[in-house]
A and B are shown apart, each in its own frame.
Chain A
Amino acid sequence: MKILVVDDEHDVKTLFLQRFRKEIRKGELEFVFAFSGEEALQTLNNMQQEAVLILSDINMPGMSGLQLLEKIKKDFVTPPPVVMMVTAYGDEDNYNTAKKLGADDFLTKPVDFKLLKEKLIQII
């Protein structure tokens, strides 16, 4: 199962690659990165029916994380991907919107990588 990380911050990729260095090396986790919502949708389309876990930032220029979520939940039904929203603004509005749009989980920045690791392993 591939994990698609969507964030406009490019360094997120470096960070994830290092944080999950061992897991990647062991082949336990596989990451794909997209730097905007639009790019993420394209990646998803390219991945065909592959089972995917999406980890998306909400606050991004252009398509926001929530728009991406809405689109994914609408367009990618089989198999329904697991979408986890990550945001710096852990306010209720965002949380509720995300939940309403069908987000599977909601994480607040700064991301607790230990917890994320557990969750990822659990889901996968």
Chain B
Amino acid sequence: MEKKSLNHLPECLVLSSANFKHGHLLIVTGEVLTNEVQSILIRFAKVFEHTYTRFLDLQKAEKQARETQVELSLERIRSRVTEMQESSDLFDIVVTMRNEFLSLGHEADYFWHMKWAKDNYEMSMTAEDGGRLGMVITVPKFVHDNIPTLAKWEKSKKPTFVLALDAEDAWDYIENMNTHGHYQLADPNAPTKEDIEHIGGLTFIIARTTHGEIGFSLAGKVPNPPKASIDILVRFASVFDLAYKRFEDLQNSEAQARETQIELALEKVRSQSMAMQHSNELQRVIEGVYERLVELDIEIHACTIITASKKPKELLCWFASNTDQFIKPFRLPNNTMLIIKEFFNGFKKKRETFSKTYSFKEKNRFFNYIFEHTDFRTIPEERQKLALESNVYNVSNTFMGHSGIQLNRYSDKPFSKQENEILVRFGKVFEQSYIRFLDLKKAEAQARKSEIELALERVRARTMAMQHSDELQEASFLLDEQVRALGINTWGCAFNIYGDKESTEWFGNEAGVLPTYTVPHKGIFKEYYDRGQRGETLFVQEFSGEACVAHYEFMSTLPVIGEVLKNLKKTNNGFPNYQIDHVVYFKYGYLLFITKEPVPESHDIFKRFAKVFEQTYTRFLDLKKAEAQSDLIKKEKERLEVALSELKATQSQLIQSEKMASLGELTAGIAHEIQNPLNFVNNFSEVSKELLDEMLEEIENGDMEEVKAIMDDVVQNLEKINHHGKRADGIVKGMLQHSRASGSQKEPTDINALADEYLRLAYHGLRAKDKSFNATLITDFDDTLEKVNVIPQDIGRVVLNLLTNAFYAVSEKKNQNNIEDFEPTVSITTKKDSNKVNISVKDNGNGIPKHVIEKIYQPFFTTKPTGQGTGLGLSMSYDIVTKGHGGELKVNTKQGMGTEFIIKLPI
């Protein structure tokens, strides 16, 4: 064919088209094609149709293959999601996605997933090489707000967004994240500023998912990244949604399982604390807390419980770990050191949660300090080494009202939010345990207090009842017994009471008591003594090894105790080689408590025993003093008793002499009274004899009339003789009765006869003394009076006394001679007055002056001149009437008019 130039326009154009299924072949010629050519064209078209169909088929197959690839990728992602066992596997998904993305021929540096929460983004991202997870971080929401286009997109519904940043903007963004983000996992190979500058920026290609985004980054600022990559990312996003759904399901069930685990663990702690019967079981509860936390797969090396100490600037720490050794709670003093300061601060402010990673330096400052200054030094060496050698020190704390828990971790993994939350829950449960512990402790303290009080009371009661100091022997046994009952393991107890040059000691222990012995103020006893004198209250002396043996050797040289100890040596093959003497002082000596081990917590109790004993011993001394005094009093009493009995004898003599005095007064009267009847007896008997002589004469004379008359006279005379004889007899009997000592029996007595008889005796008695005396006697006796049960001579004595006084009164008045026509009158009256008989003796004398009337019944009181009255008359009378007869003795007196005494006797 002729070569033609396109510049040369043809004269005509012939378009020949051969159609085939998908189009046509077009030939432009200058002339109409020949049929042959036409048929060739048609054949070409046919061939082309075949080729094109094949091309199309190929194309279709290629596309299908690609799609299959994508689908396979997606399928792999899907299957990876299906394999997810834990929610943390979600992080790994980003690695899978990146791998698939690359395998599909797309380019990507980092691949990430970001969950949009309310206030922050939770992001997990691959490492640079993409083969593993590089970073897990929580970023606050405002970090994105600084990039308006990004923020805008997030609020829109557009599926994708490309954020192409130059180096400066990219670094700003990263730094923002570093500053505000919270790393759960940090990528040590994260790009540096230089890296960013080197690659000239960063481009983030982002696709929306149901809960946030996924994305990948490209190096440099790439405003239009390949569409295919973006499309694939969108497809990944939808697959990720599925994965996320599954993740959420897993997370839920995981959370539930975890929750159950945690609840179970807490329940174990709770039940362990509820089972606490004694406060010393708290350490076990604390170890339980540690074990439960470990069971919850929380990586910890130790768990420390913190509680308030007795001192305000101190905390008590209870340590629990996997170590077998029991670590005693140790006191942690406040300090300016950061760890301690933050620790105290947290406790003080009751910070619910506080976790921190301390630097190596801070950590070791802290541990070096507590290993040196606190009891924490007792933890095993390998633990100390672990603490000191660890590079990182992570702590998580929770502080409640009374207690707190600290978790320690020596790995570089900081405590997660979840772990902190779990710790808070443990903290709350433990707080309950601790409150229960405090209650138990309080109850125990109270029980202990009453136990101590009881023991003290027993010793007090025993020593209080002491009558002799030798009873201290027994008391020492009791003391030892009581102290041991308080759980203080004493080997023996003693009382030591100071003397001038030596002290006396009483010792007792479980085995019994030693005989009382004395110890000189020498050697150790001098030291004990001197310390007491210096005012010490407690002295603890430890004897160990040879010193202890030496102490016993010294003791063996002492009398009494020495013998006992020598025997002890023989039986035990030597002396003990260890003991602690606790010497607690009181005013008069000291108590000695011997133990075989240190008992610092019992020192106060020892002091209390000393105090109690001081009280009782003081009382005992007072008692001794009182006894000595009472001996004196007893002697004095005996002396006084002798004096009293002498006085009584004197008194009875006096009373007797009063009787005799009144008898004396009566003697004259009695003499008269007896004389008269005797005279009559004599006279009548004489005259009778004469009459009988006369009668004989008359008989001879035969004057029988006269004889008869004389005989009548003689008979009458004999009656008179008999009458007067009896009269004399009666007087003598009365006299005897009067002088007889009292003690006679009551007998029914004719009061009228008695009154009459004594009236006469009294009158004649006075008359015998004072010849010139005379008085008018008036008697008025109640005839209806029946016999009254009285002691006749006693009542007679009273009547006589009253009459004597009455006569004395009237005679006094008469002797004053200044009253004309004074007729001394004494009257005696008896009168029945319902259930009483009144005997009244009344005179018209001068009456009793007022100042005298109060004294008239006092013994030895008399108004009569010396020698004339004993002063016992009225006193005795009063006693006879009131005490002897249950009656009353009344007196009515009127100055210048007279006096009336009334004896009222019950019938």
Contacts and interface: CB of A to CB of B under 8 A. Distances in A.
A104 B724 CA distance: 30
Please report whether the interface of chain B is mostly helix, strand, loop or mixed according to DSSP: helix
B671 A88 contact: yes
A59 B672 contact: yes
A113 B683 contact: yes
B359 interface: no
Given A18-B687, A89-B672, A109-B675, A67 B680 contact: no
9 contacts: A11-B720, A18-B690, A19-B687, A21-B713, A62-B774, A64-B774, A94-B771, A110-B683, A113-B686
B777 interface: yes
A43 B694 CA distance: 32
B684 interface: yes
Interface stretch (B373-381, B760-768, B862-870): B760-768
A110 B771 contact: no
B466 to A, nearest CB: 79
Contact of A61 (B671, B678, B683, B777): B777
Contacts of A67: 774
Contacts of B81: none
A21 B694 contact: yes
Contacts of B678: 110
B345 interface: no
A49 interface: no
Given A61-B763, A61-B777, A88 B771 contact: no
Nearest to B720: A11
Closest 9 interchain pairs by CB? A110-B679, A18-B687, A88-B675, A64-B774, A15-B683, A88-B672, A94-B771, A93-B771, A11-B680
Contacts of B694: 21-22
B367 to A, nearest CB: 133
A89 B676 CA distance: 11
A59 B679 CA distance: 15
A45 interface: no
B774 A18 contact: no
B745 interface: no
A106 to B, nearest CB: 13
A15 B687 contact: yes
B378 to A, nearest CB: 124
Q: In this complex, which of B716, B763, B772 has the most chain A Cβ atoms within 10 angstroms of its Cβ?
A: B772
B784 to A, nearest CB: 26
B777 A89 contact: no
Given A11-B720, A59-B672, A109-B675, A19 B683 contact: yes
A66 interface: yes
Given A18-B687, A22-B694, A67-B774, 7 more contacts: A11-B720, A18-B713, A19-B683, A19-B687, A21-B691, A59-B767, A111-B683
B776 A62 contact: yes
Interface in A52-69: 58-59, 61-64, 66-67
B676 A88 contact: yes
Say which size band chain B's interface belongs to: 20 to 34
Contacts of A88: 671-672, 675-676
Interface in B700-731: 713, 716-717, 720, 724
Contacts of B675: 88, 109-110
Nearest to A64: B774
A91 interface: yes
B682 interface: yes
A42 interface: no
B774 A89 contact: no
A46 interface: no
Interface of A: 9, 11, 14-15, 18-19, 21-22, 58-59, 61-64, 66-67, 88-89, 91, 93-94, 97, 109-111, 113
A66 B676 contact: no
B716 A14 contact: yes
Contacts of A58: 771
Task: Count chain B CB atoms within 10 A of each CB in A61, A63, A97 and give the residue with the most.
Answer: A61
A15 B672 contact: no
Contacts of A18: 684, 687, 690-691, 713, 717
A9 B691 CA distance: 22
A59 B772 contact: no
Nearest to B759: A61
B764 A59 contact: yes
Contacts of A19: 683, 687
A57 to B, nearest CB: 10
Contacts of A66: 771-772
A89 B687 contact: no
B670 to A, nearest CB: 11
Contacts of A110: 675, 678-679, 682-683
Nearest to A12: B680
A93 B770 CA distance: 10
A63 B774 contact: yes
B720 A14 contact: yes
A94 B772 CA distance: 8
Contacts of B690: 18, 21
B132 to A, nearest CB: 159
A111 B675 CA distance: 11
Given A18-B717, A62-B776, A91 B771 contact: yes
B686 to A, nearest CB: 8
Nearest to B773: A64
A22 B690 CA distance: 11
A89 B720 CA distance: 23
A15 B691 contact: no
B684 A15 contact: yes
Contacts of B716: 14
Contacts of B720: 11, 14
A115 to B, nearest CB: 14
A11 B742 CA distance: 36
Nearest to A109: B679
Contacts of B684: 11, 15, 18
A64 B690 CA distance: 32
A109 B771 CA distance: 16
Contacts of B679: 109-111
B762 to A, nearest CB: 12
Contacts of B717: 14, 18
Contacts of A93: 771
B682 A97 contact: no
B683 A97 contact: no
Contacts of B767: 59
A28 to B, nearest CB: 16
A61 to B, nearest CB: 6
Contacts of A97: 771-772
Nearest to A8: B676
A63 B776 CA distance: 8
A95 B475 CA distance: 94
Contact of B771 (A15, A89, A111): A89
Contacts of B774: 61-64, 67
Nearest to A9: B676
Nearest to B706: A25
A18 to B, nearest CB: 4
B680 A15 contact: yes
Contacts of B672: 59, 88-89
A67 B772 CA distance: 9
A70 to B, nearest CB: 11
A47 to B, nearest CB: 25
Interface in B643-699: 668, 671-672, 675-676, 678-680, 682-684, 686-687, 690-691, 694
Contacts of B680: 9, 11, 15
A53 to B, nearest CB: 20
Contacts of B691: 18, 21
Nearest to B681: A110
Interface in B433-474: none
A58 B675 CA distance: 14
Interface string B766-801: 011001101011000000000000000000000000
Nearest to B760: A61
B775 to A, nearest CB: 8
A91 B774 CA distance: 18
